[in-house]
Amino acid sequence: MSAEPDQPNFTALLRPVVRESSVSEVAKRLLDHLSEGHLKPGTRLPAERQLAEALNVARSSVRGALSALDVLGIIEIRPGSGSYVRAGTSEFLPRAINWGLMLGQRRTHDLVEVRTFMEAMSARLAAERAEGTDVERLEAHLERMREAGGDVTAFIDADIAFHLETATIARNTVLSDILHSIRSLLQVWMERAGDIEGTVAGTLKEHGAILQAIRDRDPQAAERAMAEHMQCASERLWSSLSAEEGGASGGGA
């Protein structure tokens, strides 16, 4: 068995919880440290009792938070041994974002904001630089979205492919790499789309406008169409979160 990694300094993590929703706050505290790189894969977390005492919450709150993170696949609870940060960090981002969405974390708002600006720039550059079969490939992705019908997975895959294809057509390697790196954000965002009325129709219409602007080689129209799509998508995302807070199932963009 490999040796455990050096234990991090848990001082910042083990501050008393002051919010009423202690289960969410404990989970958020752990998630913040995970997403900031403070807790490496394989790290053993402090014992349940130690966490409860340091955070000034009931052990049941700690147990609930750890169970939630275990279900999300972020940590692994080993009976008789403790709780450990899971390996496979490439799969952590979508889980972290999904949990962050449920908690309304500021980091998620920042990711959405940054994505909005990058997507608009990507569409503008794509309209300026499209050549050869570029537009045909975009059309194929949009057609796959139309043909998906009630197959949510197929719709999401085609939707993501449309956005990543746009970044490829933009022919800016840095921009393309960044958008590919936040593919997990796109997937989590879109997976929340199913229950918001008008999401599919709205998304198809918005993508059609982006495609037309790129086909027309109109950078300003492409940027505007993408910005409008991102605004509508953001509104659908936050509407889904509001619905969940009110006890209803949600949807995104």
Residue keyed to tokens 């492409």: 222
Residues 6+ apart with CB under 8 A from 23: 61, 64, 65, 68
Helices (H), 173-218: 173-181, 183-191, 199-215
In order along its 253 residues, the chain shows pLDDT tens digits of 444 555 555 555 555 554 445 777 787 777 766 655 667 788 899 999 998 888 888 888 888 888 877 766 778 899 889 999 886 544 555 555 555 555 455 656 777 788 889 999 999 999 999 999 999 999 999 999 999 988 888 888 899 899 999 999 999 988 888 887 776 656 666 665 555 667 889 999 999 999 999 999 999 999 999 999 999 988 887 776 666 555 433 333 4
Dist CA 230 CA 121 (whole Å): 12
Task: Residue count of the chain, please give it.
Answer: 253
Dist CA 168 CA 207 (whole Å): 16
